[in-house]
Structure 1
Amino acid sequence: MKQEKAIFACGCFWGAQHQFERAHGVLRSTVGYIGGHKDHPTYPEVKSHTTGHAEATLVEFDAEETSFTELCKLFFEIHDPAQTDGQGPDIGPQYRSEIFYLDENQEQEAQAVIDLLRSKGHEVNTRLTPASTFWPAEDYHQHYYDKTGGEPYCHIRIRKF
């Protein structure tokens, strides 16, 4: 097994975690906050738009079973990368579309997927940003839909690939 990590922000982290957890090769995931300027942010702080953080999902995966590129493709299929600072009913900069890359290879692979989408006529406003500290969200946010039995609004709607 070759364990790697990836960090994606694509709207409400509850639904993103739900979708990533079901992907082949994913070992585990954690929802949290990244990309802001405050240490140990809380959900109320992030929601107040004062910390600069995005709601994100840290995905741990077996690189012998899946690839970062495949996870990027799933990321783009479960949200609308054309929407800026929001997804569906969730509006605000904490719901932005952003890939927080952990190394140069991830940056290049993510850019290649974005270029492919654009070549097919898709609008992509997703940001590519070097990863900063990922702060896990409060326990009640972890695996939210598994706990509540609900269904996320983000799901694969349109195959882009």
Structure 2
Amino acid sequence: MTRHIHINRVTSARIGAAILFAVAALFYGVRPAHAAERPFIIAPPAMDEPASPSHQETAVFAGGCFWGVQGVFQHVKGVSQALSGYAGGKADTAHYDAVSVGDTGHAEAVQVTYDPSQITYGQLLQIYFSVAHDPTQKNRQGPDTGAQYRSTIFATNSQQHKIAQAYIAQLGKSGVYSKPIVTTIEDQKNFYPAEAYHQDYLVQHPDSLYIVFNDMPKIANLAKEFGERYRDKPVLVNR
């Protein structure tokens, strides 16, 4: 049976960009985007949430196409769900065709549900800044450009805001990044789940050229740099 995959002009553009990468790599020795090639080796945050009994909390991160960000957090121990969606704009524009234009205020984002007794918010931030995306790319990530691909932390409470703000300052002083960190923090913005065909996209399409070039290296980097937090079997939305 052939699986139906929704393809619109933006998804087609992503696939087209991946094909160009493949051709360039074959004929000119061009390498994939830096963010997908190697992680940033960074220290954990000096400020973090306190240890707590087992329960569920949520965090929302944006850092380029949500396919790869979702894929990374689906492989993190202590995460019970990573859901692709939109954050930063209004409900009536929280759909792919509108968000892809780039003027809705939304960013492609991932809502991470996690158990802070297994992994803290600060540890999720470390993974986000190290392997999930490049926080020095403004309104873009790899081949994708536009405000919908911005590097943004959507803090769900004041504690998350303080931890994220302190960590950005810490990383900025570390000298790890060759360019300034452009990650912003947006507070108390609603999160809207993306369409079903975007969920588990990396898992469902591991051989897609876009995924191969831009996202699979992130999973490899997660396993290499955060082995104690990596799980081989991802937690899926469509279980």
TM-score (norm 2): 0.63
Distance of 1:52 and 1:102 partners within structure 2: 17
Letter in 1 for 2:166: A
Please give the secondary structure, in 2, of the residue aligned with 1:112.
Answer: helix
The alignment covers a number of residue pairs equal to: 158
Deviation sequence 1:71-100 (CA, Å, 0-9, x none): 011111121111100000111110000000
Aligned to 1:3: 56
| SS of match in other structure, 2:114 | strand
| Counterpart in the other structure of 1:103 | 157
Deviation, 1:37, is 3.3
**Conservation of the 8 A alpha-carbon contact between 2:107 and 2:149:** yes
Per-residue deviation at 1:38? 4.5
Q: How does 1:1-150 map to 2 (within 5 A)?
A: 1-39=54-92, 41-77=94-130, 78-121=132-175, 122=177, 123-150=180-207
The Cα of 1:147 is off from its aligned counterpart by 1.2
Q: Is the CA contact (8 Å cut-off) linking 2:93 and 2:104 kept in structure 1?
A: no
For structure 2, list consecutive stretches of 5 or more residues without a partner in the other structure: 1-53, 226-239
Please state which structure has a larger fraction of its residues in helix: 2
CA distance in 2, matches of 1:87, 1:149: 19
What is the rounded CA distance, in whole Å, between the counterparts of 2:171 and 2:103 in structure 1? 32
- Whole-angstrom distance in 2 between the partners of 1:83 and 1:32: 20
Identity over aligned residues, as a percent? 39
State the shift of 1:40 in Å. 5.1
Higher strand proportion (structure 1 or 2): 1
Higher Cα Rg: structure 1 or 2?
A: 2
What's the C-alpha RMSD, in Å, of the aligned pairs?
1.6
Local SS of the residue matching 2:92: coil
